[in-house]
Amino acid sequence: MNTSWETVIGLEVHVQLITKSKLFSGAATAFGAEPNSQACAIDLGLPGVLPVLNETALKMAIKFGLSIGASIAPKSVFARKNYFYPDLPKGYQISQYEFPIVSGGSLSFTLEDNTTKQIRITRAHLEEDAGKSLHEDFHGFSGIDLNRAGIPLLEIVSEPELRSAKEAVAYLKTLHALIRYLEISDGNMQEGSFRCDANVSVRPSHQTKLGTRAEIKNVNSFRFVERAINYEIERQIDILENGGTVIQETRLYDANKDETRSLRAKEQANDYRYFPDPDLLPIIVSADLIKEIRKTLPELPREKSERFERDYGLSAYDANVLTATKELADFFEQTVQASYQSEPKLCANWVMVDLLGALNKTNLDITESPISPERLGGLIRRIHDKTISGKIAKTIFEKLLCEKEDVDTIIEKQGLKQVTDTTAIEALIDEVIAKNPHQVADYKSGKDKLFGFFVGQVMKASQGKANPEQVNEILKHKLGP
């Protein structure tokens, strides 16, 4: 059999909102506290307490909805999702079911081949996080830490419109950047602030009906999402090509073995006995509140990227790369400022090629860059005003990576100033011409290519410091036509 298969992926992303207190209680939300030191009576599900909605979390959900062009429900409802688990003391999770706060909207992203894809968002709803079971520090039993219980989550559900692991990762990166731009989450994946469940199915390419999906739970890095999905695609195709059927189930990705494993048969919505939470009033959102929140929307990645093209004359590709994260975009703009706005395109090149290249090698993030925008901008200023050549700039850049000194001090101390004094350059050129009579003769008899040789010799004699434009000009003059 020679069927070609199409992959179908829908993602559910849980984003922890950065509120100071929990979704329904006043307990603190900071990461890494002593177990159970940030869990109050409400988070513990003790009798006689009532949840109170955190308004900041609600506003963050609305802000997200507005940023993706979704509709904000004038009335939405919290529902109880009932199940037992040791990290869920109430026996139910407060979530939203039939009436989520955010519906519709879409997310666009650019793929490696520069094509753009738009994925529709089904919904985004507010819910509380569960606690954590700790297995490692205990022998023969598990500990329960309820610090995370009740931390606000925004669950963002996509339509099953993604068609490959690469698309899924591009979608996730775009979503991750967006929530950071909106400042509604720190997006820290190691700490679980941005977690993804990937629903994956395959179907014969000509078929319109969706195949049976498996849901891979809680994958917490972009790299693992890609691997987990690719493993799952192959597993399912393998089953189908061998005449089997895929069963709907929840699976776990094991990064060490690079495989997914069955966790449990997929539960159906009615297993959870959802019903509206009688302890909480419906959320009513007024048009005025939406208006107010709309005003707080920052410049979004796409808008920023378009502005970079317009104002700095960057290509769409460069603008896209530089706005991939807010931190990188800010770094670039600060560099442009520090270079006195002289050469935005040159700044873009230095940030994207030299700086990101160096950071990549040392596994550092842009926020950990040993070169500040001020120092990089300073370097570009000196290229622009011709104090140094581009070549010398590369040498100085290497020094900036490991030394604290600023550009002007390095130039001064090491005598790297570009030679722009015409008499000095002429002297060097005369010397080179005198030393190479054969080449001069060859050049004059028509070997034009030798011009580069002379430029090279003069630059070498000046230890790279002669201004290349002047060298070219004077050489042309001295060597004659």
The residue ranges that bind ligand ADP (CB under 6 A) are: 8-12, 157-160, 199-201, 210-211, 213, 215
Q: Are 11 and 171 in contact (CB under 8 A)?
A: yes
Binding partner selected for residue 381 from ligand ADP, Mg ion, none, CB under the kind-specific 5 to 8 Å limit: none
Binding partner selected for residue 9 from ligand ADP, Mg ion, none, CB under the kind-specific 5 to 8 Å limit: ligand ADP
> CB of residue 192 vs Mg ion: minimum separation in angstroms?
17
Q: Which residue is nearest to ligand ADP (CB)?
A: 10
Is the Cβ of residue 10 or residue 105 nearer to ligand ADP in the bound state? 10
> CB of residue 334 vs ligand ADP: minimum separation in angstroms?
38
Is the Cβ of residue 3 or residue 248 nearer to ligand ADP in the bound state? 248
> CB of residue 155 vs Mg ion: minimum separation in angstroms?
9
Is the Cβ of residue 159 or residue 306 nearer to ligand ADP in the bound state? 159
Binding partner selected for residue 160 from Mg ion, ligand ADP, none, CB under the kind-specific 5 to 8 Å limit: ligand ADP
Nearest to 346 by CA among 322, 301, 377: 377
Is the Cβ of residue 246 or residue 388 nearer to ligand ADP in the bound state? 246
Report the distance separating Cα 33 and Cα 219, nearest Å. 23
> CB of residue 191 vs ligand ADP: minimum separation in angstroms?
24
Region for residue 478 given its phi and psi (left: phi exceeds 0; alpha: psi -120 to 50; beta: otherwise): alpha
Report the distance separating Cα 252 and Cα 465, nearest Å. 59
> CB of residue 92 vs Mg ion: minimum separation in angstroms?
17
Q: Which residue is nearest to Mg ion (CB)?
A: 12
> CB of residue 90 vs ligand ADP: minimum separation in angstroms?
20
Report the distance separating Cα 257 and Cα 255, nearest Å. 6
Binding partner selected for residue 10 from ligand ADP, Mg ion, none, CB under the kind-specific 5 to 8 Å limit: ligand ADP
Binding partner selected for residue 66 from ligand ADP, Mg ion, none, CB under the kind-specific 5 to 8 Å limit: none
Structure tokens at 11: 């993602």
Report the distance separating Cα 327 and Cα 383, nearest Å. 25
Binding partner selected for residue 213 from Mg ion, ligand ADP, none, CB under the kind-specific 5 to 8 Å limit: ligand ADP
Query: What Cα–Cα distance (Å) separates residue 193 from each residue in 11, 14, 22, 153, 219?
Result: 16, 8, 14, 9, 12
Binding partner selected for residue 373 from ligand ADP, Mg ion, none, CB under the kind-specific 5 to 8 Å limit: none
Region for residue 463 given its phi and psi (left: phi exceeds 0; alpha: psi -120 to 50; beta: otherwise): left
Binding partner selected for residue 80 from ligand ADP, Mg ion, none, CB under the kind-specific 5 to 8 Å limit: none
Could you give the 3-state DSSP secondary structure of residue 110? strand
Is the Cβ of residue 38 or residue 236 nearer to ligand ADP in the bound state? 236
Is the Cβ of residue 244 or residue 298 nearer to ligand ADP in the bound state? 244
Is the Cβ of residue 81 or residue 304 nearer to Mg ion in the bound state? 81
Helix axes 373-384, 390-402, angle to 10 degrees: 160
Report the distance separating Cα 55 and Cα 19, nearest Å. 10
Residue matched to tokens 């070997």: 447
Could you give the 3-state DSSP secondary structure of residue 128? strand
Nearest to 420 by CA among 472, 479, 468, 476: 468
Q: Tell me, what amino acid is at 215?
A: E
> CB of residue 296 vs Mg ion: minimum separation in angstroms?
31
Q: Which residues of 256-272 are buried (b: 16+ CB within 10 A; e: fewer)?
A: eeeebeeeeebeeeeeb
Binding partner selected for residue 94 from ligand ADP, Mg ion, none, CB under the kind-specific 5 to 8 Å limit: none
Which residues in the 8-47 window bind Mg ion by CB under 5 A?
Answer: 12
Structure tokens at 417: 């100033």
Is the Cβ of residue 12 or residue 405 nearer to Mg ion in the bound state? 12
Is the Cβ of residue 63 or residue 213 nearer to ligand ADP in the bound state? 213
> CB of residue 167 vs Mg ion: minimum separation in angstroms?
19
Is the Cβ of residue 250 or residue 349 nearer to Mg ion in the bound state? 250
Q: What backbone phi and psi angles, to 5 degrees, belong to 40? A: -100, -175
> CB of residue 217 vs Mg ion: minimum separation in angstroms?
9
CA atoms within 13 A on the CB side of 388: 23
Report the distance separating Cα 322 and Cα 464, nearest Å. 31
Binding partner selected for residue 8 from Mg ion, ligand ADP, none, CB under the kind-specific 5 to 8 Å limit: ligand ADP
> CB of residue 232 vs ligand ADP: minimum separation in angstroms?
10
> CB of residue 224 vs ligand ADP: minimum separation in angstroms?
18
Report the distance separating Cα 73 and Cα 98, nearest Å. 11
**Per CB under 5 A, which region of 6-14, 221-229, 310-318, 325-333 contacts Mg ion?**
6-14
Binding partner selected for residue 179 from ligand ADP, Mg ion, none, CB under the kind-specific 5 to 8 Å limit: none
Q: Are 85 and 130 in contact (CB under 8 A)?
A: yes
Report the distance separating Cα 58 and Cα 373, nearest Å. 36
Enumerate the β-bridge partners of residue 466. 419
Q: Which residues bind Mg ion (CB under 5 A)?
A: 12
